[in-house]
Structure 1
Amino acid sequence: MKLYKGLVAATVEALQDIFVKNRQADRVVEQMLKSNKKWGARDRAFIAGNVYEIVRWWRLVKYAAHVEKAVESEDFWRLAGVWQLIKALHLEGNEASGSLPEWPEFEEIDREVVVGRYAEALAIRKIAQSIPDWIDQLGETELGESWPAELAALNRTAPLVLRINTLKTDIETVREQLGSEITETIPGVPEALVLKIRINVSGHESFKGGFFEVQDAGSQLIAPYLDVRPGMSVIDACAGAGGKSLHLAALLGNTGSILSMDIEHHKLQELERRAARNGVTNLTTMLIDSSKTIESLSETTDRLLLDVPCSGLGVLRRNPDSKWKLKPEFLDKIRKVQAQILEDYSKMVKKGGKMVYATCSILPSESEEQVRAFVKRHKADWKFVSEHRTSPARDGFDGFYMALLERK
Structure 2
Amino acid sequence: MTMLLTILGIGLFAVGLLFSIAWHELGHLSTAKLFGIRVPQYMVGFGPTLFSRRRGETEYGIKAIPMGGYIRMIGMFPPGADGRIEARSTSPWRGMIEDARTAAYEELQPGDEKRLFYTRKPWKRVIVMFAGPFMNLILAVAIFLGVAMTFGFATQTTKVAGVQSCVIEQSEKRDKCAAGDPVSPAKQAGLQEGDKIVAFNGEPVSGWPELSDRIRETIGPASITVERDGTEQVLQATLIKNMVAKKDSDGEVVPDAFIPAGYLGFAAQTEILPLNFPQSVDRMGDMMENGVESIIALPAKVPDLWDAAFSDGERKDDSPVGVVGAARISGEVMNLDVPTENIIATFMMLLAGFNLSLFLFNMLPLLPLDGGHIAGALWESVRRNVAKVFRRPDPGPFDVAKLMPVAYVVAGVFICFTLLVLVADIVNPVKIS
TM-score range, shorter chain: under 0.3
Normalising to structure 1: TM-score of the pair?
0.25
Structure number with higher relative contact order (C-alpha < 8 Å, ≥ 6 residues apart): 2
User: Which structure: larger Rg?
Assistant: 2
